[in-house]
Structure 1
Amino acid sequence: MSILAGSATPQLIARQFKFTEGPAVDRAGNVFFTDQPNDKIWKYDTSGKLSVFLEKSGRANGLYFDEKGNLLACADEQNQLWSIAPDGKVTVLLKDVQGHRLNGPNDLWLRPGNGGLYFTDPYYQRDYWTRTAPDPGLGGQKLYYLPKGQPQPVVADDQLQKPNGIVGTPDGRQLYVADIKANKTYRYQIGADGKLSGRQLFVAQGSDGMTIDHEGNVYLTGKGVTVYNPAGQQIQHIDVPADWTGNVCFGGKDRKTLFITASDAVFILPMRVHGVQ
């Protein structure tokens, strides 16, 4: 059975951005996404209305909502992690690792019920940075875990070339992380203490952003959206009329709308399946 709602194809919502990224859904089903070069976070509500949620967003990239309704953001203007309250007030969660500047936090996922935060930290040179190279004291591009209430993260995996997209299962037991440079996506088991084990190759395809549906299918991005079942078998490829598809999430009141950020545009696609976050 197809994961799509009938013969649906991606529907253009708007093409007025520079580069869209980081879609995240709140409890009501509204989707928030970034236009990183223009330093804004946008809101696409369940009625189909677009509005600016936050100007001066710290050049936010990946986004994710916590259980209190705060919007967590990879703010790579100053290479920080932010928590943005519903009224737009910003709290800096993390600004460095043991005094060393992060490469540029890219994407993040919050473990349900645990409050622990996983994030990827690849290095992509930005034209708004004054620096031109990574902090050598950081020791590379890594996957990190920030335990709830702790001021500093721990390294979850330092054997990735350029970690990027990340998503976990709703039971909090498995984590998927894309190594975009190696063109691979891995699956890990998550321990009670947040430590990862049992890394295995999920598919020989990397990804920018990613999401998961209620059947456990994993959605990878790049050239369109490619969907794999939990066994790592491709079950769908969704063509998106854009040079690059950056990220995806499920939105809408019933979480049955796939929201797609694709270069200068955003699209929606009605689905049979629904999202889990």
Structure 2
Amino acid sequence: MNRFIHMWAPFRKPYGGLRRGLVCLALLIGVASIGGSAVAQQRPVPKGATVELVDDGFEFTEGPIWYQGTLLFSDIPANTVYQWTPDDGTSVFMKPSGHANGLAIDSSGQLLLAQHDGQVGRRTADGSVTVLANTYGGKRLNSPNDLTVASDGTIYFTDPPYGVDENDRELSFSGVYRLSPNGELTLLTKTFARPNGICLSPNDSTLYVNDSRETRIRAYDVTESGGIENGRQFAAPTDEGAEGSTDGMKVDAQGNLYTTGPGGVWVYSPDGTQQARIAVPKAPTNLAFGGPDRKTLYITARPHVYRVPVNVPGAE
């Protein structure tokens, strides 16, 4: 517990209930092109769309996921996963959460948690958590941050040292891992300074990984065995003076990549062309598609949760 509070203490504030409200904020949308030709696909974000406040009053929100008709999101220092619906508002879904950060859904529909307390876990029907991975090479993982699941059940996750006191670290590197359906854990790369958000393209052929220290996104081809190759820089969103970095990200059904970045959410086509930029008043931490048609983008941004409509549904 102490190693976590040390890291996140600057973001803590008194928690005095949840306030709901609607605040419309400007949405900045820019369409880019390569070689002078516009990308031939539907505009990902509606022109003139506005960001709406869903709820606030939290400490540090993260890990949103649409799960069984509700929005789930983490509040890391509060050691809580909350659930929200338009009709019922916000309530506690899980506490303690192992200081969960990223959330995902496995191939059987169960909730997965990247827990800052040092493990990747699966929440069972009775509310308990089964440990899927907590060590590599006999040494404790740092602080699992985010995760994504392939169609065959393979889990990919990042493991930076956020929330871990340097003296308590057992692994000297920040890894990106593959956890096979049979439970075999493989280190894919340890070249990142701070690996953070992670997601797969809709056909599982490309793995994207954010580096939050360097504010860049790398892409890898996924091999038949589930490994990665041909690593390259995919994008590096830049806005001097704007707050925020490459943290959480997701893809839509057309393969467009939505990532947090300086000043908001940046949207890229599969070839790396910038398609849009959504301005967010607080530095965003993560995002997820939700709603019955998966055409609402939910954005966590420290004490706030926002949403904005999109044209293209999120990838399943």
In structure 2, what is the equivalent of residue 42 of structure 1?
Answer: 82
Query: Which of 96, 107, 113 is equivalent to 1:56?
Result: 96
1:133 aligns with 2:172: no
Q: How many angstroms does 1:122 deviate by?
A: 0.7
| Partner Cα distance (2:109, 2:87) in 1 | 19
CA contact under 8 A between 1:119 and 1:144: conserved in structure 2? yes
| Partner Cα distance (1:60, 1:103) in 2 | 13
Query: Which of 154, 175, 192 is equivalent to 1:116?
Result: 154
| Partner Cα distance (1:237, 1:62) in 2 | 23
SS of 1:192's equivalent?
A: coil
Per-residue CA deviation, residues 66-121 of structure 1 (Å, 9 max, x unaligned), is 122211001112x0111012442211111211221111000001111x11111001
In structure 2, what is the equivalent of residue 146 of structure 1?
Answer: 179
CA contact under 8 A between 1:107 and 1:166: conserved in structure 2? yes
Name the TM-score, length of structure 1 as normaliser. 0.91
Query: Which of 198, 213, 217 is equivalent to 1:185?
Result: 217
SS of 2:77's equivalent?
A: helix
Query: Which of 105, 117, 122 is equivalent to 1:83?
Result: 122
List structure 1 runs of 4+ shifted beyond 4 angstroms.
none
Q: Which amino acid aligns with 1:71?
A: L
CA contact under 8 A between 2:202 and 2:252: conserved in structure 1? no
1:214 aligns with 2:253: yes
Query: Which of 76, 99, 114 is equivalent to 1:74?
Result: 114
1:170-181 alignment runs, 5 A limit: 170-181=202-213
Q: Which amino acid aligns with 2:205?
A: R
Q: Which amino acid aligns with 2:52?
A: Q
In structure 1, what is the equivalent of residue 61 of structure 2?
Answer: 20
SS of 2:58's equivalent?
A: coil
Unaligned runs of 5+ in 1: none
1:248 aligns with 2:282: no
Query: Which of 310, 313, 316 is equivalent to 1:271?
Result: 310
Q: How many angstroms does 1:276 deviate by?
A: 0.7
> Identity across aligned pairs (percent)?
37
| Partner Cα distance (2:88, 2:289) in 1 | 14
Name the TM-score, length of structure 2 as normaliser. 0.80
In structure 2, what is the equivalent of residue 9 of structure 1?
Answer: 50
| Partner Cα distance (2:89, 2:124) in 1 | 21
Kindly name which structure, 1 or 2, has the bigger radius of gyration based on alpha carbons.
2
SS of 1:172's equivalent?
A: coil
In structure 1, what is the equivalent of residue 267 of structure 2?
Answer: 227
SS of 1:264's equivalent?
A: strand
In structure 1, what is the equivalent of residue 199 of structure 2?
Answer: 167
CA contact under 8 A between 2:65 and 2:103: conserved in structure 1? yes
User: Please, what is the CA RMSD of the aligned residues?
Assistant: 1.7
CA contact under 8 A between 2:116 and 2:163: conserved in structure 1? no
* Count of matched residue positions in the alignment of Structure 1 and Structure 2: 267
